[in-house]
Homo-oligomer: A and B are copies of this chain.
Amino acid sequence: MRKFKKLVLTGACGALGSVLREPLAGMAEALLSTDIADAPDTLHENETFTQADLGKMDQIEPLLEGADMVVHFGAIPDEAPFDELLGPNFFGSYHIWEAAHRHGVRRVVYASSVHAVGMHPSADGIDLTAPHRPDTFYGLSKCFSEDLARLYWEKRGLEAVCIRIFSCQPEPANMRALGTWLSYPDLVRLVQRSLDTPTVGFVPVYGVSNNDRSPVNNHQAAFLGYKPQDNAEDYYDKVIATARPADPQDPSQMRLGGPFAIVPLGESGVAMIKKMSEAAD
């Protein structure tokens, strides 16, 4: 694998950032990890950590100096009031792309989300030409960042891979996840390919595992060479045991965004999603 001189990982203390630190450390001479949270207990040998707020340009810009590429996973990872998302999710993306541009960073690999297209029916089998249909303010922040990424590519030549992460968890947690699960090892594979593909321009790609029931089609991004290895179907028996009743009139069961397709926007949505995910799906 190609060795980078310096990679930057934002959101390094988050659920997915934590998964990525080790493989990214293995791909670069130096990995700079950052998060708004405190540093992790232990760092890899070639890893440094800087605490920083994505909403503050003066904290973000210095981090990208000398970086080859940025893996931008920092953000509020859930629905939230628009005002709360502004800093980390909207400004955060702007700060990352603008800083990357100023420092001549070559590429941003971005944690976009299924929620940028969450209102599409699962049964439409969409591919990567489907238009944005956000399901929440959170999804809207992903649409914004993808459009920003395309703008920086077309006007400034800054490359971007926008990984629309589906249900990235240790195991598929419910019936929907039989289609939408992204295993941690497949997440790592996808990030690696997003980094090591020599030229990418601007490209979105769905982050799903090799699930029997995967509802989306990545063929336009085939040149990335992402070949997922895991299959949620292996967890079928476990999942079915606690599945909630099927209801074809329920958008949370028929749309890509799942529960996000029905929760209210903003604050009350946050609460409802929490409640829904506490219940067996």
Contact = CB atoms under 8 A, between A and B. Distances in A.
Interface of A: 1-2, 82, 90, 94, 98, 119, 121-125, 129, 131-137, 139-140, 143-144, 147-148, 150-151, 154-157, 159, 175, 178-179, 196-201, 203, 211-217, 219-227, 233, 236, 240, 243, 246-250, 253-254, 264-265
Contacts of A221: 123, 125
A125 B214 CA distance: 20
Contacts of A219: 125, 217
B265 A155 contact: yes
Copies of the chain in the assembly:
6
A90 B137 CA distance: 13
A139 B219 CA distance: 25
B151 A135 contact: yes
Contact of A253 (B125, B154, B198, B215): B198
Contacts of A94: 82
A219 B125 CA distance: 6
A224 B213 CA distance: 6
Contacts of A201: 121, 123, 248, 254
